[in-house]
Amino acid sequence: MKIKNTTIELIKGDITTIEVDAIVNAANSSLLGGGGVDGAIHRKGGSQILEECKAIRNRQGGCKTGEAVYTTAGLLPAKYVIHTVGPVWSKENNKNNQLLTNCYYNSLSIAKNLQVTSIAFPNISTGVYKFPKKEAANIAINSVRSFLESENHHLKTVIFICFDDENYRLYQEILGD
């Protein structure tokens, strides 16, 4: 699928192996690392990413839900890691959808400022944070679409990396692959 001059790709796999300018991390607000994709990025990227996260934490006290910060990518093939904090899903919280939208939009805004041409997203909030996967996939794709349609940027490729079969199938259905 193409939006203006940007190709949207779908890949099943591990985001730490992808050669793009920027990968996005589904971080938590402490920025000190965690499980899931966050754990994998810090494990394979080495200690430099955590050191930079700690510096950001000292400067601004972590990262709020829906917002994003960036570091270099340490030992990973990417140049940058953009850390965004997805919402912890709960039935009662009607801000979930907006916050997840913000994660994708704010990550792309950082990518724009860094002048990156390729970026890969994991399925933010759909692991430990329990966001319903179909809803999360629709939000992810709509947020990316809206950014690409409305902003000037250098992005040639946006990749959705799905680690699990269910997310991969859902994205295939929505993107029509």
In whole angstroms, what separates CA 108 from the centre of its chain?
A: 9
Whether residue 74 contacts residue 47, with contact meaning beta carbons closer than 8 Å, is answered with yes
Amino acid at 15: I
Q: Interaction with ligand ADP in 4-43: which residues (CB under 6 A)?
A: 14-16, 26, 36-38, 40
Select 37 or 153, whichever has its Cβ closest to ligand ADP: 37
For 83, phi then psi, to 5°, come to: -95, 120
Q: How far apart are CA 8 and CA 10, in angstroms?
A: 7
Whether 38 is catalytic: yes
Select 111 or 153, whichever has its Cβ closest to ligand ADP: 111
The residue from 70, 80, 105, 129 that contacts ligand ADP (CB under 6 A) is 129
The residue from 65, 71, 97, 123 that contacts ligand ADP (CB under 6 A) is 123
Select 6 or 28, whichever has its Cβ closest to ligand ADP: 28
Among 67, 79, 71, CA closest to 116: 79
Q: Is 65 in the site for ligand ADP (CB under 6 A)?
A: no
